[in-house]
Structure 1
């Protein structure tokens, strides 16, 4: 198609690949807003739900842990559940980023700007 124009054909391929990567990254970012992960603590007594982007969307607490003398334990369980949800969200995002880079033929350990 662009015979005789030297590296211009390669540049066109690179631009198309960059555009494809940008489109896939935008789709992945939108998808991560709808994917949820749930972290828990205390054997499921406290559950925190977050989007794969890390936004906390729900918190469930088993009423059996509401004992006034156990206030600090409840607070610790809540924090642990939130941290677990955030870690799962981060892991999910990393997994999706790896999948995208592999689909694009990039090295699996390549760090993209997200």
Structure 2
């Protein structure tokens, strides 16, 4: 194989690995997203994870004296929705540099699958006629 081709392949491989590492870091940031939402003047606090699943619920003791059960359930839902909206915004901000414009915001893609960790360079070289005979 020509030295300049090998140098170019090595350069592309280096760029590929750099982008893969960036995507891995992005995936790690996305995995740690969580948010807390409040309702009923702060008497109800809800924390959700990156998928909107409830991970914590805090009720101020005053809430039992001030809210009826239906009002309390509405406050929990409101706080959950507020937290979920915050998670969606955090995700959007992290993804805006890599997601195509207008891409749907539902779910988080597995960024590691975009650039697999290993691939067969011999197959690529053979495909482009760069493999020595």
Segments of structure 1 that go 5 or more residues without pairing to the other structure are 102-106
**Structural RMSD (CA):** 3.4
Shift of 1:17: 4.5
Moved more, 78-87 or 61-70: 61-70
Q: Give me the TM-score of the superposition, normalised by structure 2.
A: 0.58
**Cα distance between partner residues in 2 of 1:108 and 1:28:** 15
Shift of 1:35: 3.7
Is 2:33–2:87's contact at 8 Å kept on the other side of the alignment?
Answer: no
Report the equivalent of 1:82: 80
Segments of structure 2 that go 5 or more residues without pairing to the other structure are 110-133
Is 1:52–1:89's contact at 8 Å kept on the other side of the alignment?
Answer: yes
Cα 1:87–1:31, aligned 2, differ >3 Å: closer, same or farther? same
Cα 1:69–1:43, aligned 2, differ >3 Å: closer, same or farther? closer
SS of residue matched to 1:59? strand
1:9-62 residue CA offsets vs partner (Å, 9 max, x unmatched): 48x63x655544443233222223334321111221111112344332211111
Runs of 4+, deviation exceeding 4 Å:
15-19
- Which of residues 18, 36, 43 is equivalent to 2:34? 36
Greater CA radius of gyration, 1 or 2? 2
Report the equivalent of 2:129: none
- Which of residues 101, 104, 107 is equivalent to 1:109? 101
Report the equivalent of 2:127: none
